[in-house]
Homo-oligomer: A and B are copies of this chain.
Amino acid sequence: MKLVIAVIKPFKLVDVRDALTAMGVEGLTVAEVKGYGRQKGHTEFYRGAEYAVHFLPKLKIEVVVPSDRAEKVVEAIRTSALTGQIGDGKIFVIGVEKAVRIRTGEADDNAL
């Protein structure tokens, strides 16, 4: 199995989830993160003080899928999260050795 990690723009979550469910991915986990990269932040003023905000709000999606579907999932996320503008984010794929569904104890592919 593979763990597909995608850092995307927050407002793209719905599109990505729909794309994934459309291809039968039944579950995923999302976390609010802050991202630093080529996309420049903005400057905030507070009376006399000026602060450059480099970290931008992003969402990190984590989804574990059977190895053979990883390719498709990555592609689905890429297309659904795409705006074409800087800051769209990244997708990373990592190998997963074991998966367990807590409720049933089912393992690996059956756990997903």
Q: Name A residues whose Cβ lies closer than 8 Å to a Cβ of B.
A: 1-3, 6-8, 17, 26-38, 54-55, 58, 60, 64, 70, 74, 77-78, 81-103, 105, 111-112
Number of copies of this chain in the oligomer? Answer: 3
Query: Is there contact, CB below 8 Å, between A94 and B3?
Result: yes
Are A27 and B36 in contact, CB atoms less than 8 angstroms apart? Answer: yes
User: A39 → chain B, closest Cβ, in Å?
Assistant: 9
Q: How far is the CB of A69 from chain B (nearest CB, A)?
A: 14
A94 contacts B91, C-beta separation under 8 Å: no
Minimum CB–CB distance for A15 against chain B, Å: 12
Chain B residues with Cβ under 8 A from A34's Cβ? 29-31
Residues of B close to A26: CB separation below 8 A: 37-38
A38 contacts B29, C-beta separation under 8 Å = no
What is the chain B residue whose CB lies nearest that of A103?
A: B88
Give the Cβ gap from A71 to chain B, nearest Cβ, in Å.
Answer: 9
Shortest distance from the beta carbon of A42 to any chain B beta carbon, whole Å: 17
